[in-house]
Amino acid sequence: MITRTKGHLLYLGLIAIMLTALSCERTTDEYKTYPLNVELVYPDGYNAKKDITVTLTSTADSKTMEAQTDENGMAKFTVTAGVYDASATDNRTGDGVAYVLNGAERGIIVNEQWTGTENVKVRLSESKLSQVIIKEVYYGGTPTDDGSRPFAHDRHVILYNNSALPASLDNVCLAITLPYNPHATNSDYVDGKLFYENEGWCPAGQAFWYFQNPVTLEPYSQLVIALFNAVDNTQTYSKSVNFANPEYYCTYDIEKFDHEASYPSPSEVIPTSHYLKSHVYGTGKAWVFSQLGPAFFIFAPEGQSIEQFGTDANNLDMYGGRATQVRKKVPVKWVLDGVEIFMQGSDSNRKRLNTEIDAGYIHGIKDMGYSIYRNVDKSATEAIKENEGKLVYNYAMGTQDIEGGTTDPSGIDAEASIKNGAKIVFMDTNNSSKDFHQRKEASLRHK
C-alpha cells in the first residue's frame, strides 16, 4: 500500500515537471511579451502633443493595436514576437490652412534579441490637406455573368471636392507609380527606405493624364473618370458599370494609346471635351493601371504649365536603370492626394507612395467587383446644419464579413445620404489605413 502511494506520488510529480516544462516552453515560444515604445519625432516648428493615436500593425495578419502618446510624444505597447509597422497622424491648423503630420516606420522586428531599451522613432512629415481628393478607386475586375474570366476593362476613379468652395481641376493630372504592383520586386528601396523620399519627389510611371478644357468641381460634388472602356459595359456584363453619361469623363487619347480592348470609341453621349489627354514618356499600347493594387495619385504642377512639365526631359528617371521603364519625377509638394493599395494575402507588399502623400495603405481583393472607397468624416459631416435629417446610417456596403475586408467606421452611408441631399465631408488624413475601406461594389454600379 505504501509502495503504491509513493509510486503514485512519483508519477504525479513527473507529470507536474513535464507540464511545467511545457508551460515554460510555451511561454518562451508563444506567449512571451516585449515592450515596444514608439516615439513621434516632429519636424521643426512643431511640439509633441498628447493623446495622438499610434497604430501598430502586424505584417503577418494585418491585425492592429493602438496606443496614445504622452506629453513627450511617446506611445507604449506590449507585443509578442513578430514584424510590425508603426504609423501616426497628427492634424494641425494655422493661418486658415489645415496641415497633417504623418509618419511611419516599417519592418520593426521583435524577437528574442529585442531588448526594448531603445525607442522606435517615427518621423513625422508635414503636408497640406487638399481641396480635391480621391473618393473611390475601382481597379480589380468585375465578375462575369457566365463565371468566366473577370472583366477588367471597367476600371475608373472618382474625384471629389471635399470643401465648401468651388475647385478648379484645370491643372490636375492623374498618375500611377512604377513599380505598378505592390508585391513586385522594388529596386527603389535602399537600406530599407524609398530613395526618392529624401529627394522630395514621387515617380509617375509611363504617362500621366490631364483635362484638356477648364473644369470646375462644385462644393461636395464628384467627377467620374472612366480609365478604360468608356461605354455602357452593363450591356455585356450585368455586374459592370454604365459609363454612358454626359457628365462623365474618360482617359482617351487614341493617337498615343491604341489598345483596342481598352479604348473602344467612348459612348457618343460623352462630350469629346471630356476626353482627358496624355503625356506619354514610357512604352505600351495602354496606360498601366494595376489590377493587383495600384498606387494612384493626383498632382498639379506649380510654376510651370502641364506642357512644360510633360516635355521636360530633365525630370525623367529610369526605373532600375532600364530605359524601357521611364517615369517622371513629380515633386511631392505638387501632389494633391494619393491612395496606396496592397494586395490582400500577399506578404511581399511594399510601399511606393511617399509618407507625406500617404502614410498608410488599404488592402484590396481583385476579381470580386469590390472598390476602394473613402470613409466619411462623421463629426465634420454631422456638423453641417443643412444635413439635419438627411444623413443615412447603418452603412451596409462594407466587406468586414470576409477575410481581410473592411468597412467605414463612421456608420454613415455616404451614397444614400448624398441621394438624400446631404453634403458629405470625407476623411482626409493622408493615411489610407484610416481614410479608406473596401466596398462590396462600386458606387456607380446601379447608376
Higher pLDDT, 100 or 80: 80
Place of cell 502511494: 5
Q: For residue 1, is pLDDT > 50?
A: no
Beta bridge partners of 328: 204, 316
Q: What is the pLDDT of residues 358-370, one digit of tens each?
A: 999 999 999 999 9
Q: Over range 156-185, report the average pLDDT.
A: 95
pLDDT band at 399 (very low <50, low <70, confident <90, very high): very high
pLDDT band at 61 (very low <50, low <70, confident <90, very high): confident
In whole angstroms, what is the distance from residue 75 CA to residue 99 CA? 22
pLDDT recorded at residue 94:
56
Q: What is the pLDDT of residues 236-279, one digit of tens each?
A: 999 999 999 999 999 999 999 999 999 999 999 999 999 999 99
Which of 34, 417, 432, 354 is closest to 220 using CA atoms? 417
Note whether 176 and 205 are within 8 A (CB). yes
Q: For residue 2, is pLDDT > 50?
A: no
Q: For residue 355, is pLDDT > 90?
A: yes
Residue range(s) in the chain whose domain bears CATH number 2.60.40.10:
31-128
pLDDT recorded at residue 198:
93
Q: Over range 33-47, report the average pLDDT.
A: 94
Higher pLDDT, 1 or 179: 179
* pTM of this structure: 0.82
pLDDT recorded at residue 98:
67
pLDDT recorded at residue 23:
47
**Nearby residues of 306 by Cβ (< 8 Å), 6 or more positions away:** 171, 173, 210, 279
Pairing type for strands 326-331 and 201-205 reads antiparallel
**Nearby residues of 208 by Cβ (< 8 Å), 6 or more positions away:** 173, 174, 175, 278, 279, 299, 310, 328
In whole angstroms, what is the distance from residue 228 CA to residue 262 CA? 5
* Number of other residues whose CB lies within 10 A of the CB of residue 27: 11
Beta bridge partners of 84: 58, 108
Q: Over range 42-51, report the average pLDDT.
A: 93
Q: What is the pLDDT of residues 275-305, one digit of tens each?
A: 999 999 999 999 999 999 999 999 999 999 9
Q: Is 236 helix (H, G, I), strand (E, B) or coil?
A: coil
What percent of the chain clears pLDDT 70, i.e. is strictly above it? 92
pLDDT band at 92 (very low <50, low <70, confident <90, very high): confident
Q: For residue 110, is pLDDT > 60?
A: yes
In whole angstroms, what is the distance from residue 231 CA to residue 263 CA? 10
Q: For residue 12, is pLDDT > 90?
A: no
Place of cell 487619347: 253
Which of 147, 30, 47 is closest to 94 using CA atoms? 47
Q: What CATH code would you report for 31-128?
A: 2.60.40.10
Work out the angle at residue 340's Cα, subtended by the Cα atoms of residues 339 and 346, and round it to the nearest 5 degrees.
155
Helix and strand totals (H; E) in the chain: 5, 27
Pairing type for strands 207-211 and 275-280 reads antiparallel
Q: For residue 89, is pLDDT > 60?
A: yes
